[in-house]
Structure 1
Amino acid sequence: MRKLLIPAAAALAALSFQAQADTGKLLLTGGVSSIDGAAGGGLTPWAVIGSNASEGEWGLSAHASRLHTRDYGLTTYGVAAGWNERVEVSLARQDFDASPAIALNGIAPFGIQPGEHLKLDIFGAKLRVAGDAVLDSDSLMPQVAVGIEHKQLHPGSLGGVIDFLGAKRSGTDVYVSATKLLLGPGVLLNATLRNTQANENGLLGFGAAAPGRASRSWQAELSAAYLLRHDIAVGAEYRFKPNNLEALGRAAGLGSALHESDWKDVFIAWAPTHHLSFTLAWVDLGRVVPGITGSRRQSGAYAAAQVAF
């Protein structure tokens, strides 16, 4: 797999509501790929099924994105398949540039190598269980889907840090999403409720040693998109995070050094054809392991591209 994509961030939104000539599915109503690979927004999955396939058809999509913040970089890429507007499966990889983590060698002999990257593999599956975003657009009924995301972390020389945190190297998120499409005003609203144990989406493992949080928790994720014209949309997302590690850091005398912030973004997306979409966004990841970055906010530009059939 080649590198090219991000978290967060708002890769999606372009919801052009023109009919697709060869399948009958409305243009880009399958959203784009989230950083975890599922169809939806850049930071969060939606209840939609990705690709351009409609009922009775198979569809495929591929995506890549890149986010660069003040101290970090995140590349994401992956593929997804959808069937019958009912089922979606996806594979994605996140490649996180964790170079600032070398400063942790000054705290303990972790053996972190210069320029280290954290890699996270994600397998996802989603099932639409109720509603139809397009056919139910004139009613209060949203489209509803349930999904899972199994994540496997490859920490490289940061393995000692993950062990120090008492975090596991794999974990599985489960979620339910509700997507409401308002065709008249050109508005899409989404709410996702995620049950997770992940630290920084899994890039710092899953759970924590006491007194950190080892148990799972429910976290909300919200998205909204507005269609400026048939091929351009703007929007925003907000993703709440569990902050499992901060209590452990405070007990170790590190203060808020391990605090985990919520993620958010604003974006603009353009769909020149029903096969291509491009997204630009400003993403704010908050303070990511602020103990090694001087508590600087990690915000920056995000770019993403998706091809779908």
Structure 2
Amino acid sequence: MSTDIAIRTTGLGKSYGDFAAVGAVDLTVEAGTVFALLGPNGAGKTTTVRMLATLVRPDRGGAEVFGYDVVRDATAVRSMIGLTGQYASVDETLTAGENLRLFGRLLGLTRRAAARRSAELLAQFELAEVTDRPVGQFSGGMRRRLDLAATLLTDPPLIFLDEPTTGLDPHTRDRMWGIIRALVARGATVLLTTQYLEEADALADRIAVIDHGAIVAEGTATELKSSIGEQILRLDLADATQSVRAQAIVAERTGVPPEDPAEGTLTVALTDADIAADIVAACRADGIALRGFAVDRPDLNEVFLALTARAA
């Protein structure tokens, strides 16, 4: 088993009829890191994960997990991975303990080992007090934690987390982030798919932005932010009806049209921060009232908007 590279794909793709769910994806994920696939709904994140997890056979290209081919060596690959999907896979009629013991037995653990490992994970995920409660009575966050616990029963070296915090409240999401960090600190590799920009920024060592089945950018969060400009100008208009005129002024001085992420708020990447003063002065001269403006480093929101706009 190759221990340096957890995942390597070359031209990996999958189509359904005439629809290319994933085009030709090239990825390299180093072992012991968090790698995030960031993209909107329908971008190809889940299909990519399903191919890597041997649940879907690729149409083209190839992929390896710790040196094992996901098609030819599917059994070996499955023995090294854990997968938590977008929806909890636990049985609502069983208790938390019964779910984990059942999964443990299905994964090949002895009855005693399954019971011991289940108790350890329930304690680790702060579910020990509800061991005997039916999962149907659990909150969404509790189900997600139990689902992740089931994924870790055999301590797989590679864990796929497909949008693991979708629908969770901020407190529960922070708790899940802490669990993911702890997994990597113990040596696991995590491939995380998410549509939450702050999640990728907070957790990932490297990020690949995927849109319409294609990787449109890859790098660290810092590299991706720098790729669209060192500075971002944000203009907060007092009157949203003046947005068209303000956009024209920004485009004339920067050479690119600004993004309009919220009504009356314009953002644009700057190659030179001094241009910001020219834009603000031009807006005043044209009678465009501003509630405020700021020049700041870009965040992943601006990166995502810029990259997916280029892909479109």
Q: Same fold (TM over 0.5)?
A: no
- Bigger share in helix: 2
- Bigger share in strand: 1
TM-score with structure 2 setting the length: 0.25
TM-score with structure 1 setting the length: 0.25
